[in-house]
């Protein structure tokens, strides 16, 4: 038996025993528990410091299992599942009775996805049930995209960390509510709006944040310790240098248009031109700037199309108002 198989079996055993396993997915690392074990699910909330009303995503091993977890599968959900699973798309549907209310934050709907990572799929297959998992970080902070990030965030609070290397997508899944007449994008992510429209044949709805209850979406989320300020791309260098002169330890996410420009700041991360590479790197850059001791991060938003939409959403939330600790 390879070391990898041993790890999978160990992780499955931890889940069966009611423990918590950090698992790799293509988006970010998840903090997983047996979805049908209310006590284990409750431990996720404790470890993350997450309010119990914030619903979790149930990860399943294949699209054919969807009917086991939800009360009803509308044709649109079936279509999206067929096209995008395994992959970074989460579908919100009416829950089946086997999904405990602890996992849904008390809602009658449940979020489900099939992750596109070989180790996650092997674990789901070996475990046999559903794994409910939020991102494996403390509530409000930056999601982990490597096993080391998970250990830095959660340390001993997690019973086993399954190391599947760096996450390939880097931002969380796109969440689509398919309980209504028209699918509605609740969170932009790894599957773009353009991807969804191509399969649906019409654009999905994009409810405004204020118009719909989107649990677990606080203004400040995905945030590093350093305060994040967003400015126009052309202002990044001037604003960063001004803040540095005023005594801040400034970290800069330097837009590709300014690639080789010199910047007098504490730490500079040039952002890749490719949105896929930017998404893959984003949380790592924010972590790196924290590790370098920056207290302020100056960044700009990428064009809000394709994956740029998810990147801009996370940057806005990283820059959002923070509730006092």
Using the minimum distance from each CB to ligand TXA, give the nearer residue, 216 or 251: 216
CA dist 127 → 35, 45, 91 (Å): 11, 21, 22
Using the minimum distance from each CB to ligand TXA, give the nearer residue, 61 or 255: 61
Task: Spell 146-167 as b/e; 16+ CB within 10 A means b.
Answer: bbebbbebbeeebbbbbbbeeb
Give the residue at shortest CB distance from ligand TXA.
Answer: 216
Give the interface segment with ligand TXA, choosing from 4-12, 14-22, 122-130, 168-176 (CB under 6 A): 168-176
User: Could you tell me which residues come within 8 angstroms of residue 4 by beta carbon, excluding any fewer than 6 positions away?
Assistant: 119
Using the minimum distance from each CB to Mg ion, give the nearer residue, 135 or 192: 135
Q: Does 55 bind ligand TXA (CB under 6 A)?
A: yes
Question: Considering the complex, what minimum distance in angstroms separates the CB of residue 132 from Mg ion?
Answer: 13
CA dist 180 → 55, 92, 109 (Å): 19, 10, 12
Choose which of 27, 90, 132, 135 interacts with Mg ion (CB under 5 A): 135
Distance CA 231, CA 173 (A): 26
**What DSSP assignment string belongs to 191-253?**
S-HHHHHHHHSSPPB---TTTS--TT--SS-SB-SSEEEE--GGGHHHHHHHHHHTT--EEEE
Report what 173 binds from Mg ion, ligand TXA, none; CB cut-off 5-8 Å by kind.
ligand TXA
Using the minimum distance from each CB to ligand TXA, give the nearer residue, 45 or 285: 45
Report what 141 binds from Mg ion, ligand TXA, none; CB cut-off 5-8 Å by kind.
none
Report what 214 binds from Mg ion, ligand TXA, none; CB cut-off 5-8 Å by kind.
ligand TXA
- Residues 167-206: x where in contact with Mg ion by CB under 5 A, - otherwise, as a string: ----------------------------------------
Report what 175 binds from ligand TXA, Mg ion, none; CB cut-off 5-8 Å by kind.
ligand TXA
CB 45 within 8 A of CB 38: no
- Residues 206-235: x where in contact with ligand TXA by CB under 6 A, - otherwise, as a string: --------xxxx------------------
Length of the chain measured in residues? 325
Pairing of strands 131-132, 30-34: antiparallel
Task: Tell me which residues in 40-59 interact with Mg ion (CB under 5 A).
Answer: none
Using the minimum distance from each CB to ligand TXA, give the nearer residue, 213 or 246: 213
Question: Considering the complex, what minimum distance in angstroms separates the CB of residue 271 from ligand TXA?
Answer: 21
Using the minimum distance from each CB to Mg ion, give the nearer residue, 296 or 309: 309
Q: Position of tokens 């996410």?
A: 253
Task: Tell me which residues in 62-121 interact with ligand TXA (CB under 6 A).
Answer: 88, 90, 92, 104, 107, 109-111, 115
CB 56 within 8 A of CB 134: yes
Using the minimum distance from each CB to ligand TXA, give the nearer residue, 19 or 134: 134
Neighbours of 68 (CB within 10 A): 13
Task: Tell me which residues in 178-197 interact with ligand TXA (CB under 6 A).
Answer: 186
CA–CA–CA angle 194, 196, 202 (5° rounding): 85
């Amino acid at each position: 038996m390879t070391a990898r198989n041993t790890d999978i079996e160990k992780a499955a055993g931890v889940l069966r025993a009611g423990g918590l396993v950090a698992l790799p997915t293509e988006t970010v690392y998840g903090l997983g528990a047996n979805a049908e074990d209310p006590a284990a699910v409750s431990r996720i909330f404790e470890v993350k410091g997450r309010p119990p009303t914030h619903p979790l995503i149930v990860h399943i091993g294949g699209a054919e299992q969807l009917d086991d977890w939800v009360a009803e599968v509308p044709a649109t959900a079936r279509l999206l599942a067929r096209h995008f699973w395994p992959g970074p798309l989460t579908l919100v549907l009416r829950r089946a009775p086997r999904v405990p209310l602890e996992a849904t934050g008390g809602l009658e709907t449940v979020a489900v996805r099939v992750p596109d990572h070989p180790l996650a799929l092997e674990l789901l297959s070996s475990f046999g049930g559903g794994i409910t998992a939020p991102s494996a970080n403390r509530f409000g902070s930056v999601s982990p995209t490597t096993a080391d990030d998970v250990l830095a965030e959660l340390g001993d609070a997690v019973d086993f960390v399954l190391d599947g290397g760096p996450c390939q997508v880097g931002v969380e899944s796109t969440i689509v509510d398919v309980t209504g007449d028209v699918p509605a994008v609740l969170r932009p992510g790894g599957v773009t709006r353009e991807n969804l429209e191509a399969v649906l044949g019409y654009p999905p709805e994009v409810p405004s944040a204020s118009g719909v209850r989107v649990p677990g979406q606080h203004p400040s989320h995905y945030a590093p310790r350093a305060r994040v300020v967003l400015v126009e791309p052309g202002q990044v260098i001037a604003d960063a240098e001004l803040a540095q002169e005023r005594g801040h330890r400034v970290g800069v996410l330097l837009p590709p248009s300014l690639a080789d420009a010199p910047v007098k700041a504490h730490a500079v991360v040039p952002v890749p031109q490719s949105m896929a590479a930017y998404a893959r790197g984003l949380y790592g850059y924010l972590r790196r700037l924290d590790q370098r001791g920056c207290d302020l991060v100056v960044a700009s938003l990428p064009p809000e199309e394709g994956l740029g939409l998810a990147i801009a959403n996370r940057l806005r939330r990283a820059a959002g108002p923070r509730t006092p600790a």
